[in-house]
Amino acid sequence: MAFLLVSQQAVLAQRNIETRLGYSYNDDFQFSDEWQYLSTDIYLYNGNRFTRVLNELEHGARKPKKKYGNVLEYLLITAQLKNMKLFGNDDIVYPLYNFSITQNNRDYKTQVSDHQEVVRIIDKMPLGSGNNSIDAVINAKAITNGESDQVFSMVANQLMNISKLTTPTGAVLSLVGEFGSLLNARASKKEYKFSSTIRLYEGQDFDTRLHSVRIYVFVPSDVKKVDIKTVKLTDYLQKNPNKLDRRQLEEMTGYKDYPFMVVANYKSLYKMDVLTGDEVTLDLIEKRKQKIQAAYEQKMINDETFRQEKLYVEFLRVFADMKQNLNTYRLNYRNNSPEINAKNLFGIVQEYKRLKGTFDAREKEFASNSTYHNIFRAEYAAILSNADLYLEADHNLKNGKLLVNTLRDIESDAKTWKTPEKREDALARLYAVELPKAEYLSASVEGEAIVRLTKKLEEEQYNELFRKEVQELSNTDATDETVGKRNALLDKATSSKCQSCRDKVREAVTDYNKRYDSYKLKQALLKKHELNLAAEATVFKYLKRQLCIDNNLQTVSSTTNQALDQYISRMYEKNSELGKSIKSLDSLNKLEVADEKLLKVQEYNARLQHLIDEVENNFSMLYSLDKNLCNCGDAS
């Protein structure tokens, strides 16, 4: 329970004004540790009833007035605060009210105004780690004209305590002015009310709500019990957790017998400085770090908040590094070489992965930490959202973000890559970004993870999809019948994003192709031998016919008339072409292939086959033109 604890205090053996706890209320709201600031408002009611208290102190309820040499002169109400690190090791006492007392015949009378609104004695005072309350002793002193030195002694002691502080805050120094105001009011016999709230956070918006309420009644010592109705008051407090109203408090309390003080304690939630992604710079981060350190040293934030702030600063540094790499990438993308752009892009990927990894670490470490969840987690998420938005600027950055998310999925859940289809999808995302070479990547933790996980995926993919077929192809005879198996494996590898799979398949295909070339060379040499024999036969066969046709033409030309000379001349030309093709075939057939390589042999075979066909076609044309001329008996 964190609140201002007010203790009753007996003052002056002969004149005891005591504080009786008349009412206690604690709000049902569950305040976690990050509600670490305490504010306390004090409302004084029935001030005019101090006259009754003083007279009963002097006379008693039914006693005659005693004769004292000294008469009552002042009513001083003070608060002595303990457990406040702001004031060092010494307790601090400061005045709340000072009222002048006058005597009229046998009765005392106090001049207390009834328009005292509210006194906020502390405002958002940090509660140290493990310290959930600030103890306070409220003293109501009826001081005689012979005891004025007590006031001066109290003021002197407090000024000495303040002087011991090495670095007093403005809030502490304001008390010096309050003591001056008290002495001045006493000298002029005026009413004094405390007005210098101890306030450490100026102009900062805090979430604040009511924590507890106590009502203390100022009574003579012989009054043992006070009767305050609580039902209406409790209902009012439950419905107004953020702000209380003085008049409604008085109405709901309904107590008129003696003066009473309502002490309302509020707790405030720590609020961190909220940043947008565009605001984050290394300079701003350094200033934030210094501000947090100063606040901690001044006991303005507790240990856990300080720890969370330091960790958040580390997170912001990673984000700032990512922004710096992003700016470098944007400014130089069009002017840089692909290699430099790849390195710049990897820098962005690297810091983005660190950013998400840092957030994961916080989530795990502080899974049950209310300070993290209630204050800091939303700010982590906001910065991450900014980072995600930055990486939507172009396709390279989008793919970089996709790469990081893919890596994180692979690292966190083995199911994301246990099927060939999922591995293909993962590899497609990993290779969507043009990154530096593996040697460069392996020099960093993030880059090494990319290399290592990509290799692992590809090994799984190769073992499941390609290893068996590669081994089969390696053990398969390379023939025309098995070349389809080679082609199918090559097509399968080409359509895969697994680069090492493609490389291994290409190696196996290259080895197969060598064997296949040897097979095809043997086939080509056999074909060459067959063609050589066919060419030899063709030369003999058609050379004989060509000579026969030539003889027939000579015979016809000697007996024909001049009208057929042109026809005979054309037939001579065709027969001459036949002779040339036979000669070319014979020459090529006698030529040996110097380099028995597949392509050379295939080219030779093709030329030889072409010449054989040419000889046959030339003869066929002659035969179709004039069968009689081509009728060579044994030559046909």
Residue 159 pLDDT: 63
CB atoms closer than 10 angstroms to residue 207? 14
- The residues near 333 (Cβ < 8 Å, ≥ 6 apart) are 341, 344
H-type alpha helices, 143-212: 148-163, 170-187
Instruction: List the chain residues with pLDDT less than 50.
Output: 1-14, 62-69, 193-197, 199-203, 636
Tokens at residue 420, please? 């060939």
Q: Can you give the pLDDT at residue 403?
A: 93
Give CA–CA dist 594/519, Å, rounded.
19
Give residues with Cβ within 8 angstroms of 277, minimum separation 6.
319, 323, 382, 383, 386, 387, 389, 390
Residue type, position 376, single letter: F
Distance CA 549, CA 576 (A): 10
Locate 248 and state its tokens.
């409604």
263 pairs with which residues across the strands?
42, 214
Q: Given this model, what pLDDT does residue 12 score?
A: 39
Query: Tokens representing 54?
Result: 């003083």
CA angle 299/81/19 to nearest 5° reads 150
**Residue 566 confidence (pLDDT):** 78
Q: What is the pLDDT of residues 589-603, one digit of tens each?
A: 999 887 788 889 999
| pLDDT on residue 82 | 63
Distance CA 343, CA 350 (A): 10
**CB neighbours of 273 closer than 8 A, spacing ≥ 6?**
288
Per-residue pLDDT at 7: 46
Q: Write down the pLDDT at residue 5.
A: 47
Q: DSSP assignment of 299-351, as one string?
A: T-S-HHHHHHHHHHHHHHHHHHHHHHHHHHHHHHTTTS-HHHHHHHHHHHHHH
Residues forming beta bridges with residue 72, ordered by sequence position: 144
